[in-house]
Structure 1
């Protein structure tokens, strides 16, 4: 569009001359304009002065600016609505969302980055590929020679070989290759006081409990919960299953307590089932003292360990089990024979049942009540 050779201020000045009485035809000749141009100016600028014209121009510019702002916000709003189901969290995700807004909706890079709270430096950043082939080869060589070495020993070995890679780069590759050696966290236990292992003088004065494990013919592992009365070495329970959580152990103990009565104390190791809050609550509810042995000292629970050895030798090593039900059934009959037929050197060659009836004629064993 051709630009006029008169400014708006000059046009208003020409129109003011006509207002003070100068003939229009003289104005046309003086300024070299046509009648059509004059009347067009008069329709557009008639009755205005310079200040009013300036104010009008400011309002037009403001209106134009607001329209552009509205258009930009509307565009950003539309782009955000399109991506409302995506929740950008990481910078990479926010960059992906900003790229979607720019490509699909034509949003400017600045507006897209502002909308998703992304620094524009990250938008223009392009990662340079790293060549870690030499480091990977050297690190794998160290691990092949010393498979039990951890990161720091491997890193020091690389330094001794003359490689200058810093520990941050080596550790990044070390983790990417999955070479981390998992360390078993040391279980924090309260101090355990050594309790002397004494033979109880009466039934239910002291029980012992422990766990065993073995495998079925198919290779599937199962566990055994063993429970005995230290007084007459009587086996009170032999529970088998693939999993024996604390709740299951409590149910077995409740069944034994129902016909046997609750013990004064029970000696156990520091396994998670015996440290569980449910087991501790059961002991408090039944007035049972829990005697924990010291970690790594199975001889402090020698009665149940000796019982477990007998279970292993006479039951688990003797038969091949295909199902857990077979373990339960064979365990039931073996436990009955153990209590009624198997003599014990420590019981003067008597069975647990005979020793109990000799010392305390009142029936308290499983077999007497069955």
Structure 2
């Protein structure tokens, strides 16, 4: 017919030939006073409410409105959805108060800095390794001081959660004799789950540490820890096929000791991080170029 009269199917719409049903003030369907069974019988909403109270008071263990929906369908063969059950429960006043969401810590974006000494800015990130003999991964979380390039502290484990990042941070402060002091480093991380967790954020707040996070897809703002993890991959992880987690742990610990105490850095006047830190404290030696991050 549309082809005969020359009307495109995309421009033709069905025209109602009857008066539309009245709508509620919210624009949805009108509220009915009954509920149908699968056999087409009408059951009043008051009866459904009685059944709901029966279920709630039956054995002392109240279901939520979603489980009550399936209970009504199963026991009384009703055609009812969870929205209607929620409304009926609300009218009965039996809904539990919604749980309060935990307050989230405000996100603080990383900003450009000119680092002039140790313990001003620490970067943190996680590196994955693989244990071939056990067919599983391990995690290496490291804190690096961007001024002297030292790995202040690290965590090696088969898991790495927010509490592990927090504990490693506290130990790092003890190592640098900063715990409880007033001159504390800023902690910079990416947006990984460990660093946005309640455990890590609350620890930073308790220790009065400023925690800043880099914007997504900007690893250059965490360049020092990214560079270290590249060294860890090239000079340690990729050189070994670990047969066990114990073997991997020992080799990584040896590499960390080598990196901090013996590996020379051209930007640190060809000194190791520990040697450079000592020279800076004794003579005021500075890196060859300004540390801007």
TM-score by length of 2: 0.58
Q: Render the CA deviation track for 1:115-168: whole Å, top value 9, x for unaligned.
A: xx446xx8xxxxxxxxxxxxxxxxxxxxxxxxxxxxxxxxxxxxxxxxxxxxxx
Partner residue of 1:93 out of 69, 74, 95:
74
2:150 aligned with 1:234, yes or no?
A: yes
Q: Render the CA deviation track for 1:173-197: whole Å, top value 9, x for unaligned.
A: xxxxxxxxxxxxxxxx977645225
Measure the CA separation in 2 of the matches of 1:325 and 1:197.
39
Measure the CA separation in 1 of the matches of 2:118 and 2:231.
21
Number of residue equivalences: 188
Partner residue of 1:264 out of 185, 188, 196:
185
How has the CA–CA distance of structure 1 residues 190 and 257 changed in structure 2, closer, same or farther, with 3 Å as cutoff? Answer: closer
Measure the CA separation in 2 of the matches of 1:274 and 1:351.
29
Partner residue of 2:205 out of 284, 292, 297:
284
2:143 aligned with 1:223, yes or no?
A: no
Between Structure 1 and Structure 2, the one with more helix by share is 1
Q: Render the CA deviation track for 1:272-316: whole Å, top value 9, x for unaligned.
A: 111112211211222211121111100001011111111111111
Higher relative contact order (CA 8 A, sep 6+): 2
Task: State the match for 2:47 in structure 1.
Answer: none
Measure the CA separation in 2 of the matches of 1:311 and 1:283.
27
Measure the CA separation in 2 of the matches of 1:296 and 1:338.
28
- Matches for 1:129-208 after TM superposition, within 5 Å: 193=109, 195-196=111-112, 198=114, 200-208=115-123
Task: State the match for 2:96 in structure 1.
Answer: none
2:219 aligned with 1:298, yes or no?
A: yes
1:213–1:222 CA contact under 8 A, matched in 2? yes
2:189–2:195 CA contact under 8 A, matched in 1? yes
1:361 is paired with a residue whose SS is: helix
Compute the displacement of 1:264 (Å). 2.1
Task: State the match for 1:324 in structure 2.
Answer: 245
2:143 is paired with a residue whose SS is: strand
Measure the CA separation in 1 of the matches of 2:168 and 2:268.
27
Measure the CA separation in 1 of the matches of 2:282 and 2:248.
33
How has the CA–CA distance of structure 1 residues 205 and 192 changed in structure 2, closer, same or farther, with 3 Å as cutoff? Answer: closer
1:240–1:324 CA contact under 8 A, matched in 2? no
Compute the displacement of 1:320 (Å). 1.4
TM-score by length of 1: 0.46
Between Structure 1 and Structure 2, the one with more strand by share is 2
Measure the CA separation in 2 of the matches of 1:195 and 1:329.
37
How has the CA–CA distance of structure 1 residues 285 and 261 changed in structure 2, closer, same or farther, with 3 Å as cutoff? Answer: farther
RMSD (Å), alpha carbons: 2.8
